[in-house]
Amino acid sequence: MREVTVDINSVSEKKYPIIIGEDLLEKANEYLLRYCPASKYFIITNEKIDGLWGKKLNIENAEKFIIPDGEKYKNYETLISILNKASELKLDRKCAFVAFGGGVIGDITGFAASVYRRGVDFVQIPTTLLAQVDSSVGGKTAVNNEYGKNLIGTFYQPKLVLADTKTLTTLDERQLKTGFAEVVKYAFIEKTCDCGEFNFIDFLSGNISEIKKLNLSFINEAVEICCKLKAAVVHKDEKENGLRAILNLGHTYGHALEKCSNYSIFTHGEAVALGLQVCFDLSFALNLISEEYYNQASELINMFEFNLPEHPYYTPEMITSAMKFDKKVKDGKIIFILPTNVGEVAVFDNIETNLLHQILA
């Protein structure tokens, strides 16, 4: 069992543990009593996760609420159904919401917890690799509306994150790879996170076959490193006023590609994996990194064999215009996080359109 502490700018009530390991679902009750005592636990999950792992999840004094599976249900309607169910059950202010699932469940449950009775405690029990290394940590909650993704949400930190890596064994290959894209992202930002030396690029390259096979002792270590890196970043910048932007490495292009393809062709991670390569291509063209690092990074991305789906060709103009609509755009300038050295990145808002079009052509 591994433990990482998230300490949001040293405000003690915002300090919480991420517990990482195998067979933690069975021990959930102990952890909840210790880190998030409550009058009642309100578990939000979907049928798929409940069917696969629900019997293992040991939480006493709980009510369970099943919501439909899928990003398209991360919306007002589902949010309201959660809040109404909590009211119908007469859950009081001392109850705690428990998100049991991937990023969709985590985001909507966190949001619901942040507004139910002006905010009740909540716990994340992430069951996808993406949720374990990314979405369950850092306190961003959200739902989508007809104007875009994640437009409505709050910053609201959980009391505990319980990441049972055994749950990852039932993910399909595509879902697993979507998580790997975020894992690789952390390797390229490690030094800028400034929280110790993990040599994460070497760790991933050196153990690639075990990691791809989902050998859990390697996965546990990788999840721990990712959580440490994310915790270090949100410690310094909870609300994305600066440093937190580096977590978006690969996402400027990734989000644009998802938007161009109407969120229907690529998984988020597949789009991010392509976005990571675009960042390295840009950096290399701008002489920000050595050829050696460029080759090492491209090789690591390739090692994960993202098997990208066939997709229609989008012109550089289509991609850049989608980039301009991203919510991260400031004063009309497209923001890129670009590698500047091994494990280091910096924020750029001055990439010339000509160069960008050349790289995207």
Q: How far apart are CA 28 and CA 31, in angstroms?
A: 5
DSSP state letter for 90: T
Which of 4, 24, 28, 140 is the binder for ligand NAD (CB under 6 A)?
140
The answer to whether residue 113 forms part of the interface with ligand NAD (CB under 6 A) is no
Distance of CA 72 to the CA centre of its chain: 17
Q: Which is nearer to ligand NAD, 307 or 358 (CB)?
A: 307
Tokens (6 digits) for 346: 């910096």
Q: x/- site string to ligand NAD, residues 61 to 100, per CB under 6 A? A: --------x-x--x--------------------------
How many helices (H) does the chain have, and how many strands (E)? 14, 11
Q: How far apart are CA 276 and CA 155, in angstroms?
A: 26
Shortest Å, Cβ 264 to ligand NAD? 14
User: Are the CB atoms for 156 and 142 separated by under 8 Å?
Assistant: no
Q: Which is nearer to ligand NAD, 65 or 293 (CB)?
A: 65
Q: How many CB atoms lie within 10 A of CB 291?
A: 8
Tokens (6 digits) for 87: 């009211």
The answer to whether residue 127 forms part of the interface with ligand NAD (CB under 6 A) is yes
The answer to whether residue 130 forms part of the interface with ligand NAD (CB under 6 A) is yes
Q: How many CB atoms lie within 10 A of CB 51?
A: 11
Active site members: 118, 140, 182, 230, 240, 244, 248, 251, 255, 268
The answer to whether residue 114 forms part of the interface with ligand NAD (CB under 6 A) is no
Which of 4, 114, 125, 134 is the binder for ligand NAD (CB under 6 A)?
134
Q: Which is nearer to ligand NAD, 67 or 351 (CB)?
A: 67
Using CB under 6 A as the binding rule, the residues of this chain from 325 to 354 that contact ligand NAD are: none
Q: How far apart are CA 205 and CA 210, in angstroms?
A: 10
Shortest Å, Cβ 128 to ligand NAD? 3
The answer to whether residue 131 forms part of the interface with ligand NAD (CB under 6 A) is yes
Furthest C-alpha separation in the chain: 62
Q: Which is nearer to ligand NAD, 104 or 227 (CB)?
A: 104
The answer to whether residue 175 forms part of the interface with ligand NAD (CB under 6 A) is yes
Q: Pseudo-torsion of CA 17, 193, 103, 240, nearest 10°? A: 100
Residue nearest to ligand NAD (CB): 103
The site that binds ligand NAD (CB under 6 A) totals a number of residues, namely: 27
Q: How far apart are CA 212 and CA 87, in angstroms?
A: 44
Tokens (6 digits) for 273: 């994996």
Q: How far apart are CA 4 and CA 112, in angstroms?
A: 25
The answer to whether residue 48 forms part of the interface with ligand NAD (CB under 6 A) is yes
Which of 32, 36, 44, 49 is the binder for ligand NAD (CB under 6 A)?
49
User: Are the CB atoms for 47 and 66 separated by under 8 Å?
Assistant: yes
Q: Which is nearer to ligand NAD, 107 or 237 (CB)?
A: 107
Which of 65, 107, 125, 165 is the binder for ligand NAD (CB under 6 A)?
107
Q: Which is nearer to ligand NAD, 157 or 167 (CB)?
A: 167
Shortest Å, Cβ 140 to ligand NAD? 4
Q: How far apart are CA 314 and CA 360, in angstroms?
A: 9
Q: Which is nearer to ligand NAD, 156 or 203 (CB)?
A: 156
User: Are the CB atoms for 228 and 4 separated by under 8 Å?
Assistant: yes
* Element (DSSP H or E) covering residue 302: helix 291-303
Beta bridge partners of 4: 18
Which of 18, 36, 91, 104 is the binder for ligand NAD (CB under 6 A)?
104
User: Are the CB atoms for 234 and 8 separated by under 8 Å?
Assistant: yes
Can you give the binding site for ligand NAD, defined by CB under 6 A?
46, 48-49, 52, 69, 71, 74, 101-105, 107, 127-128, 130-131, 134-135, 138, 140, 150, 167, 170-171, 175, 178
